[in-house]
């Protein structure tokens, strides 16, 4: 497919998803949906797009989003199947992360401070092989945090699958000092700081990790499987840490236009359903619960 064809197909899929499954409340939510659709297609091996081109493509598609296109969308069977699969994948991923988080808190937290966003980012590579994008990760963090209930989380989890993943997470968190050093090394590279952190790849992170482990003056002992998982975790975390570039006047105007389209769609949906929207956006940040942090390698 040509870039134009991919862009048109993604926009059609975005409209179909919004029409059938979710009315986004923010531009970020719209980005997350578009990103999920593209990532799912790449996960299935249906598309091969360079990371820098992918971000530009998602930006272009979101900028073209219009309420009338959603309302008047005629969805063919292929697109219908695609968006259903994307929706199932998003729900499944959120469920797996939440169940693993619950199992970890119940069995392995040991009274230490729990940084929910950081822990969720550490879990994602343990349940999903594909590297997801910043907007997807932030949306996933919001979804999991909204469903995480510390009062009821202590109910036993008997699913051996999630207990095993939680145990693996606990083992990986023991290498917290190594992970911190790896992130600091990459962030300390002025060349990277002058560029988009979303250009940080698993290959780059793996190279930096190899350099650290090859330094005889540093005493780190970590198995190969844990190294590979740490590379995925750090790559995801650095990409999510990326700050958006300052918007130009034209970009601000486009952003306002998208916000207006989302607001109009939300109002239209409310009118059709006859309900009042009382939902509030979740604020991401250093959301922490638990007892004061203990000394050690816990992030």
pLDDT in single tens digits along all 299 residues of the chain:
677 888 999 999 999 999 999 888 888 999 999 999 999 998 988 777 766 678 889 999 999 988 888 888 889 999 999 999 999 999 999 999 999 999 999 888 876 778 999 999 999 999 999 999 999 999 999 999 999 987 777 777 668 999 999 999 999 999 999 999 999 999 887 676 555 555 688 998 999 999 999 998 888 999 999 999 999 999 999 988 875 444 444 566 666 777 776 777 777 766 665 543 433 343 333 444 443 333 344 34
Q: Which of 225, 221, 204 minimizes the C-alpha distance to 213?
A: 221
- Per the structure block, which two tokens stand in for 225? 């499987």
Residue 79: predicted pLDDT: 93
Residue 286: predicted pLDDT: 41
Count CA within 13 A, CB hemisphere, residue 271.
6
What distance in Å separates the CA atoms of residue 233 and residue 181, rounded to the nearest whole number?
14
Q: Which of 264, 213, 270, 197 minimizes the C-alpha distance to 30?
A: 264
Residue 8: predicted pLDDT: 92
Residue 211: predicted pLDDT: 94
Residues contacting residue 232 through CB under 8 Å, at least 6 positions apart: 125, 131, 202
Residue 294: predicted pLDDT: 38
What distance in Å separates the CA atoms of residue 200 and residue 226, rounded to the nearest whole number?
19
Alpha carbon 241 to its chain centroid, in Å, reads: 11
């Amino acid at each position: 497919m040509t870039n134009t064809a991919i862009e048109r197909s993604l926009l059609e899929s975005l409209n179909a998803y919004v029409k059938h499954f979710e009315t986004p409340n923010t531009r970020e939510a719209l980005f997350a949906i578009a990103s999920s659709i593209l990532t799912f297609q790449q996960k299935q091996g249906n598309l091969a797009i360079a990371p820098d081109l992918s971000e530009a493509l998602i930006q272009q598609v979101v900028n073209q989003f219009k309420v009338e296109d959603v309302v008047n969308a005629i969805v063919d069977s292929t697109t219908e199947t695609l968006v259903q699969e994307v929706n199932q994948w998003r729900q499944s991923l959120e469920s797996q992360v939440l169940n693993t988080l619950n199992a970890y808190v119940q069995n392995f937290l040991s009274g230490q401070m729990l940084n929910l966003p950081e822990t969720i980012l550490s879990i994602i590579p343990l349940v999903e092989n594909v590297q997801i994008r910043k907007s997807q990760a932030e949306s996933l963090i919001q979804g999991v945090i909204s469903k995480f209930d510390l009062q009821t989380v202590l109910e036993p989890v008997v699913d051996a699958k999630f207990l095993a993943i939680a145990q693996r997470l606990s083992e990986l968190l023991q290498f917290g000092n190594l992970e911190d050093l790896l992130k600091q090394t990459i962030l300390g590279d002025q060349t990277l700081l002058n560029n988009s952190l979303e250009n940080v790849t698993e290959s780059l992170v793996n190279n930096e990790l190899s350099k650290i482990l090859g330094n005889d003056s540093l005493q780190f002992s970590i198995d190969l499987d844990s190294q590979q998982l740490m590379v995925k975790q750090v790559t995801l975390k650095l990409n999510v840490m990326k700050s958006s570039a300052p918007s130009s006047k034209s970009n601000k105007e486009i952003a306002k236009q998208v916000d207006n389209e989302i607001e109009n769609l939300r109002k239209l949906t409310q009118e059709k359903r006859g309900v009042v929207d009382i939902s509030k956006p979740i604020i991401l940040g250093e959301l922490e619960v638990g007892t004061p942090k203990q000394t050690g390698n816990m992030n």
